[in-house]
A = this chain, B = another copy of it.
Amino acid sequence: MAPSVEELTQHVLKGEHRALAKAISIMETRGQSSRQLMKLIYPRSGNAFTIGFTGPTGTGKSSLVDKTIEEYRKRGRRVGVLAIDPSSAFTGGALLGDRVRMMEHTLEKDVFIRSMASRGDAGGLARAARNAIRILDAAGMDPVIVETVGAGQTEVQVATTVDATVVVLMSQLGDEVQAFKAGFTEIGDLFVVNKSDLVNPSKTMYNIASGLKQREDGWRPPVLKTSALKGTGVAGLVDALEKYRKHIDEHGSREKMARAKIEAELVETAYSDFYRETVDRLKGQKDWDLLVDRVLKHQVDPETAASQLARTIRKLDG
């Protein structure tokens, strides 16, 4: 017999790996059980420091996450990790090599690693990820690390769900470094130039740093160098992360950011639910087929037709 949501919650709070895996799967399905589970889990969450690792592919991000886990373990911390692969429509899931390599950690009791992939919308993936973070948080994992594969819309969305975003770069990306800067400065709280054993990172570090400003709360994002391969610089990265954690706690920016994040999440989730509840009714309206026909015959353009529909949506009875 399947355990009840209450029983599952008890096992989650004890940090049992099978329960964590099961609970995260439930959050991915977004059914009735996911809502019941979140009701029980959410009051027990909110303690973990959450860290996102992001940046272009090929910078050794996964290896750096591995070393960061090890460093946190040395410091006696229990670590939860979500590896998110938004390109799953192409890969049919997170890349196998990565997943297997990461799973080596999961033999350890105090490290839990899970890959998440979604064929659904980016919004749906972000929603499941936020709730999966809460599950690991309630299970006593701290920090919870979110690693995203590649660079794109989903990564930006995931970045808005964590306390600290680490942007991982490397030297010799050529033209890209310049171009990257513009967008990166907005989402990175810490910057890392990895693979520093291969190429002298000084110039890249300088380029990045010169694009960064001190934030309103007094934080200036540091630019660090690491070699995940040789394990150098990782302790420094974890020190910087902990310094940032202290900074946002002391300057009230964590609370402020938490409010902004919750507001964004509520709006996004509510509209997504509203959409799911009303879209069939919209398509069931008697003039729906007629409107589509008129657009297909180029009698009315899609923008005009859509704004007519937007008015119809307002009148749909829940």
Contact = CB atoms under 8 A, between A and B. Distances in A.
Interface of A: 34-35, 38-39, 41-43, 45-46, 55-57, 86-93, 95-97, 119, 121-122, 130-131, 150-156, 174-176, 178-184, 186-187, 258-259, 262-263, 265-267, 269-271, 273-275, 277-279, 282-283, 291-292, 295-296, 298-299, 301-307, 309-318
A40 to B, nearest CB: 9
Given A154-B153, A301-B39, A180 B92 contact: yes
A292 B184 contact: no
Contacts of A187: 89
Contact of A259 (B97, B181, B296): B296
A120 to B, nearest CB: 9
A272 B274 CA distance: 12
B296 A258 contact: yes
B270 A35 contact: no
A313 to B, nearest CB: 5
B152 A86 contact: yes
A153 B302 contact: no
Given A275-B271, A296-B258, A90 B183 contact: yes
A91 B39 contact: no
Contact of A262 (B39, B89, B295): B295
Contacts of A310: 270-271, 273-274, 277
B301 A270 contact: no
Given A45-B298, A92-B181, A266 B292 contact: yes
Contact of A38 (B153, B275, B302): B302
7 contacts: A89-B156, A90-B184, A96-B178, A97-B175, A150-B152, A270-B310, A314-B318
A274 B46 contact: no
A95 B273 contact: no
B277 A263 contact: no
Contacts of A89: 151-153, 155-156, 183, 186-187
Given A43-B301, A55-B90, 11 more contacts: A34-B303, A39-B304, A42-B298, A87-B150, A88-B183, A90-B183, A92-B180, A121-B153, A150-B152, A269-B309, A314-B316
A181 B96 CA distance: 13
Contacts of A291: 266
A60 B185 CA distance: 29
Given A152-B152, A179-B92, A283 B263 contact: yes
Max chain B CB contacts within 10 Å: which of A90, A95, A96, A301? A90
Contacts of A303: 34-35, 38-39, 131, 269
In this complex, which of A41, A122, A299, A302 has the most chain B Cβ atoms within 10 angstroms of its Cβ?
Answer: A302
Contacts of A174: 97
Contacts of A273: 306-307, 310
A296 B265 CA distance: 12
B274 A313 contact: yes
